[in-house]
Structure formats: C-alpha cells, structure tokens
Amino acid sequence: MEQDLATLQSISDTLKEEPKASQRTLAKNAGMSLGLMNAILQRFVERGWIMLTNVNARKLAYAVTPAGMSELTKRSKKFAVRTFSIANEYNEILSNLIIEAKKNGKKI
C-alpha cells in the first residue's frame, strides 16, 4: 500500500507540473515501465484515486480525485506524526543524558 501511495504522489506531483502529462511521462517520472504505469493507473481508477478523461481518440487526461488527495493527506499526516514522535524521543534521550552528565559533575 505504501508503494501505491508513493506512486500516487509521483503522479500527483507530475500532474501539478504538467497537467496534460502523458502516460509515458507519468511512467518516466515514477521510474517505471509504461506497461506497469498503465496497470497502476487502471488500479487507481478502480480505487477512485485517479480520474481519466478522453481528450480525443488517442489521448487521455489524468487527474487525482478528492479520494486520491485524501489518501495522500493521510500519508502525509502519518509521516509528520512519525517524524515528530522520533524527534521527541531523541529530545528526551538527549535531555536525560544532559541531566545525568550534570549530576555527575561533568561540564557541558
């Protein structure tokens, strides 16, 4: 699931820079083959994360749906919570080390 969200993030970033990006461009920017991108886009359409629109007989346009944006937001929130948790843990460890050092008469 995490890999799917990373791919969705790559697609979203590409579409922000180039709203009419082709499937080939999406694949290149995500670092995957065109065939794999095609399969992923189909899966994301089924999940409701991506919307396809026919521009003409040969061209499709892609857009991240509100449901897709919601998934990206959840991913960002998880990342932020995890990062702050780790930072707080290290802060507590360092604070305890400083307190211990001061108790033992070490100059800091």
CATH number of residue 24's parent domain: 1.10.10.10
6 within domain boundaries: yes
| pLDDT tens-digit series, residues 60-84 | 899 999 999 998 888 788 888 889 9
Number of structural domains, the chain? 1
Residue 26, both tokens: 């999406």
103 within domain boundaries: no
Residue 57 pLDDT class (50, 70, 90 cuts)? confident
pLDDT, position 108: 66
| Short-list 80, 41, 79, 82, CA closest to 60 | 41
Percent of the chain with pLDDT over 90: 61
Percent of the chain with pLDDT over 70: 98
75 within domain boundaries: no
